[in-house]
Amino acid sequence: MSELNAKFKDSVFVVTENVNCPFYFKGDEMEVKSGAFTLTKGGGTCLILAADIAGIVSFDQPVTKKGSHLPKQVQHQGEFQCSGCRGFIKFTHKQSSQYMTGQMKILAEAQQNAKINEARVYFNTLRKIELFSVLNDEELMETGKMLEFEELPWQFPIVEQGAPGDRLIVLLEGKVEMIDEQGNVLEELEEGGVIGEMSLISGERVSRTVMTVTPCRIGTLDKNDFKTVKNRFPVLQEHFHKILVNRYHKRSERHEQAVFTSGMTGQLIDISAVELCQMINSNRKSGQLLLDFDHDDGSMTTGRVIFKEGEIIGACHTYSRENQEDGKNAFFKMLAMSKGRFQFIPTLTPKQQQLKPIGGFAGLIMEGVQYIDDMNA
């Protein structure tokens, strides 16, 4: 048996990072003992990961400094990455429990128990939050164990306006104020309040500063853990997307009068493509939404979404005279664009009048929101 094979004969691997993996959370462990391994996490077994770990354990070639003889899963820093499917995880070698000292075992168990106990303490608070109402008790407990708990003093800025939306924050104790750029208090949140979910699922920057007005205790999920929870529990992902669609609908109502008054022309920086489509659908308009997109490299592409009584009957995204994409994928890509101009022409050609919807409008928007979410990962 080679040095590498011996090293991993009796081992524990722990997940250090999750990027859209539907099976495993950060901190999950997989045990290898006498050449056999156990995937300890519930919710299904990933055969891709099983094959990767089998390859690591049975690998018997010499290891070079540059890692040129290592299997592709092995990283130079001693970290592994699975082969991947919809997403991937990174994991690292952890000494097998049979070789851990008594003190190490006690510490590991204490850390795990502390996470479980904290999740239990705030379980009832989490249960009252609408965001988590669709989860059953077991799923909610799994989510609670992923939270990182933190105590904050009075007058502490939890998030600041304009910052990237990279955390979901649950207010477990205390009170905070949501403040606009002029310093006006727009809203107060108390125990059970949720901060940052809209920025996470829309990709937009934080729109308001959130300041503690009493000492607070919060629980947070970072961006990757948030996506893990959504992928692990599809019912939660659907719930998030419905919230986002409703939000776009409310915002489009505010833009509606101004945009129609201006002859349906404007900039995408002022109203997104999603909101435009929501507005056209809610007013059951027929016509063509023409889009000119500006890209960071200085290039420009054009798009067209065709509506009949608010339903989408066609979509195309043109990259060049020889390169054009049609249908749903073109529509999803256009929804993700944030720079450019738009114009709505309320006419259809006789040929366009005969076209059928490419899908139900609500379903298309939901898929488009998921596409935008994946693009922002």
Residue type, 240: F
Nearest to 270 by CA among 282, 287, 256: 256
So where are the chain's domains?
3-99, 120-232, 245-375
Listed in order, strand segments (DSSP E) in 10-110 are: 11-19, 29-33, 36-39, 79-81, 88-95
| Percentage above 70 pLDDT, the chain | 74
Residue length, the chain? 377
Is residue 3 over pLDDT 50?
no
Q: What is the pTM of this model?
A: 0.53
Nearest to 290 by CA among 279, 306, 278, 275: 306
The strand pairing partners of 326, in sequence order, are 316
* Number of Cα atoms under 13 Å in the Cβ half of residue 187: 10
CATH class of residue range 120-232: mainly beta
Is residue 337 over pLDDT 90?
no
Query: Does 324 or 246 have the greater pLDDT score?
Result: 324
Residue type, 126: L
Give the model's confidence band at 2: pLDDT under 50 very low, under 70 low, under 90 confident, else very high.
very low
Q: Please answer whether residues 38 and 105 qualify as being in contact, where contact means their C-beta atoms are separated by less than 8 angstroms.
A: no
CB atoms within 10 A of CB 299: 10
Is residue 75 over pLDDT 50?
no
Query: Does 136 or 239 have the greater pLDDT score?
Result: 136
User: For 169-218, what is each residue's pLDDT tens digit?
Assistant: 999 999 999 998 888 888 899 998 888 877 776 667 788 899 999 999 99
The residue written with tokens 């500006």 in the block is 294
User: For 341-358, what is each residue's pLDDT tens digit?
Assistant: 998 888 899 999 999 999
